[in-house]
Structure 1
Amino acid sequence: MRPIAFILALIFGSFILVACDQSGPIKIGFIAELEGPGSDTGMDSLNALKLAAQQINAQGGIDGRMIEIIPRDDQKSPEVAQKLVQEFAELGVDAIVGPIISSIGMAMLPVINELGIVTVSPTVSATDFAGFRDYLFRINTTTRENARAYARRSITEGRNRVALALDGQNEAFADSWYREFLLEFDERGGRVVSKVWINTKDVTHAIAASQLLDGSPDGIVLISNGVDSASLAKEIRERNQDVSLSAAEWAGTNALIEQGGDAVEGMELVQAYDRYDPNPRYQAFIADYIQMFDHPPGYSAVLTHDAATMLFTALKTKHPDQTLSNALVTLPPQPGLHQELMFDQYGDGNRDIYFVAIQNGRFIRVQ
């Protein structure tokens, strides 16, 4: 054997041995924004994953192997996210949990498909992800279900002229949400009087608030994270105390209320879970989460725990010759914190959704 061929054979053989090593920890990469505005959803998600891993490890792990979480901050940068997927591959992760926002998911998708790394996102929801068999699995509903529900509610509540603020740092989500909203809203006789992109170079929240109000809308919808939605609500309320405010489901975090204060009172939004559900499974999760992290979980924590349930169950029950991807799509329904969990043939999940309104500093479910 020629020297170069011999070396390549050694390298390949070593790779096979490492890849087949079932004695070490099960490595789960985690990716989300962990610092800066909007990082509350990322931190809640990471905390829920840590809790789920701790619960599995306390029971002896999966086939005696402990779960190891490897967290990384995507910095809300598509380029950073792609590099992190490459890093995860080099570290030999068994799967990735995340990302939180759709724009990062779009950037990661070609890389995880090329490398064959199963990735389970708790929250990404742009319609462009749905209906494809790839390595991205989604727990959440799509913008089609959510945005169209907002459009129907707006018409029902007499908000026929609506202005929308769209977050330029999560364009994949914001644009998908807007398109779905517009289709339903237009069909029902509604009119979008203005559309303003925020978090762009030249548009401050103060400027955006003025532009949103220029067309005298009946309602304003903020398609942004909780922190930016709180800031925008304050700017809008300085100029108009009466216009109805809604926020996309992405904004439904504790930070929205904490930072928005009186400006977000009465704001409506969709949530993928009922915060006050009395069922024992959910209440046990709340208690465990608060005990571990000293604050209540947000929506991304709930969805991440459900994502971990599906991922860890598939890892535990899959046949040795079965791929993790196949194990996930053939997994029977699993009990989640609020509802049964299941992926369809494309790795798409679905969730019940609820409209809530902020009343006295709490998210209260409304009919």
Structure 2
Amino acid sequence: MRHHTILLLLTLTLLVGAACGGPKPIHVGFAAQLTGPHSDLGVDGRDAAILAVEALNAAGGINGRPLQLVIHDDQGDPEVARQVSSALIEQGVVAIIGHSTSAQTEAVFEQINQANMVMISPTTSSDYFTGQDDYFFRITSTTSMQGRALARYVYTQGYTQTAIVYDQTNLTFSNSFKENFEAEFHKLGGEVELVLSFTSRIDDVRTIAQSLATHEPTALLLIASAFDAALIVQAFRQLNPTTPIFSSGWAQTEELLIKGGNAVEGMTLIIAFNPQHSDPAFQRFIERFDQRYQRPVSFAAAFSYEAILVLAKGLHQTKGSTTGLREVLRELGPIAGLQGTFEFDQFGDVRRDLYISSVRAGTFQVVTTIPAEELP
């Protein structure tokens, strides 16, 4: 505990969006993994949140009061995540944007509910949080929707058998995705011929690749971060260059393309994000993000930007207060996002279009759109 306390004291806290003097700022917490090899989601989310706050403040903020981000690094550690959330609650933030993975969100779930603290996660998708009367909202669709939709796609592509490799570090997400995929795949008549798990930062991915190559699977489903997926695919492709590889959207970031290189060409992923979406709001966001950060927009960036916009809509109605914020967010109705509209249900969950993307020439290219109304 002492170790984690020291880490918390060293946690980067960044205030963005307000100068000294003037109207009293409204503090908004942001918590995600911002350091280490699995920080791509958190860094993209933070950078997009900064842009969103700047745009809102330039337009007058919330009834004349500027938003101010209070940013903390949870380091991908559940204990640090709990310490970070405790610190943000004590600092008096009106809401928390975060966390970036389901495992860290689960770690703080009881904490935020006991504090009546609204949390909006851009990327947490585990079914663990589905249908609960709580203070948790999310911008992305659930693992049940994504896992089952991918199972249908894999099966309709002619693959009736597949192996699965999943990361136990983010088990709240990976196990939920795996179980939903397996249930739908079996229902269709498919067979999961091999299941392997690993613990990120501990297990050698070459061992995973060797086990896969020994079994010669018909197809492969990866449920892992971009960092780990890239390493596994590189090692596996050296032993088996032709097996089709499918993946959860967790890996769909620039990290996969950079670290995976030619090995990830042809890899197929599912996520509620279209990097080629034509919505003018999304195109403007792409331009601003590229101008500031000189890198492509990821799903984590887009969803984080939307999370700030959603929170701002709620705060406009509560005049910057936490009182009634949860109820207001639940009743917002259709929300104009960066890629069309979405809407919270009574539990803060959303249904959004899903996209099947393939890595082609070093980019993610959408090959199939699954409308929200057609999701399982």
TM-score by length of 2: 0.89
The equivalent residue for 2:228 is: 228
Conserved 8 A contact 1:163-1:213: no
Tell me if 1:331 matches 2:329: no
Contact 1:234 1:260 in 2 (8 A): yes
Contact 1:195 1:212 in 2 (8 A): no
Alpha-carbon distance change, 244 to 166 in structure 1, aligned in 2, over 3 angstroms: same
Aligned to 1:44: 44
Q: CA RMSD in A?
A: 1.6
Per-residue Cα deviation, 1:184-234 (whole angstroms, up to 9, x for no partner): 111111111111112257631000111223332111111011111111100
Between structure 1 and structure 2, the one with the greater Rg is 1
Q: Which runs of 5+ in 2 are unaligned?
A: 1-21, 369-376
Aligned residues: 346
Deviation (angstroms), 1:287: 0.7
Q: Tell me if structure 2 keeps the 8 A contact 1:127–1:143.
A: yes
200 and 99 in structure 1: CA distance in 2 versus 1, 3 angstrom threshold: closer
> Cα offset for 1:23?
5.2
Secondary structure of the corresponding residue to residue 55 of structure 2: helix
Checking the alignment, whether the CA contact within 8 Å between 2:279 and 2:340 is kept in structure 1 is no
1:356 match: secondary structure: strand
Kindly provide the amino acid, as one letter, of the partner of residue 344 in structure 1: D
Question: 1:139 deviation in Å?
Answer: 1.1
1:5-84 superposed matches below 5 A = 24-84=24-84
Summarize the Cα distance change of 1:63–1:182 in structure 2 as closer, same or farther, 3 Å threshold: same
User: Secondary structure of 1:123's match?
Assistant: coil
Deviations 1:276-322 (A, max 9, x none): 12221111111111112222211100111111111111101236795
Structure 2: distance between partners of 1:143 and 1:273: 14
1:141 aligns to what? 141
SS of residue in 2 equivalent to 1:169: coil
Matching of residues 1-367 of structure 1 within 5 Å: 24-199=24-199, 203-318=203-318, 322-367=323-368
In the alignment, the residues of structure 1 paired with residue 336 and residue 288 of structure 2 have an alpha-carbon distance, to the nearest angstrom, of 18
**Does the 8 Å CA contact 1:34/1:73 hold for their aligned counterparts?**
yes
TM (norm. structure 1) is 0.91
Q: CA deviation at 1:243?
A: 0.6
**Identical amino acids, percent of aligned pairs:** 34
Work out the CA distance in 2 between the residues paired with 1:219 and 1:250: 19
Higher mean alpha-carbon deviation, 336-345 vs 112-121, is at 336-345
* CA–CA separation in structure 2 for the residues paired with 1:201 and 1:304: 26
* C-alpha deviation, 1:108, in angstroms: 0.8
**Deviation digits for residues 110-155 of structure 1, max 9, x if unmatched?**
0001111100001111111110110111111111110111111111
AA matched with 1:342: E
Partner of 1:56, secondary structure, is helix
Aligned to 1:19: none
Q: Write the distance in 1 (CA, Å) between the matches of 2:182 and 2:333.
A: 36
Alpha-carbon distance between aligned partners in 2 of 1:50 and 1:145, rounded to the nearest angstrom: 30
Mapped partners of 2:153, 2:322: distance in 1: 48
* Partner AA of 1:130 in structure 2: T
Structure 1 counterpart SS, 2:140:
coil
Larger mean CA deviation between 300-309 and 316-325 belongs to 316-325
SS of residue paired to 1:137 = strand
SS state at 1:87 partner: helix
How far off is 1:329 after superposition?
0.4
User: Structure 1 residue 99: deviation in Å?
Assistant: 0.6
Q: For 1:178 and 1:31, how far apart are their aligned partners in 2?
A: 26
2:15 corresponding residue in structure 1: none
For 1:267 and 1:129, locate their aligned partners in 2 and report how far apart those are by CA, in whole Å: 29
Distance in 2 (alpha carbons) for counterparts of 1:331 and 1:112: 21
CA distance 1:29–1:110, change in 2 (3 Å): same
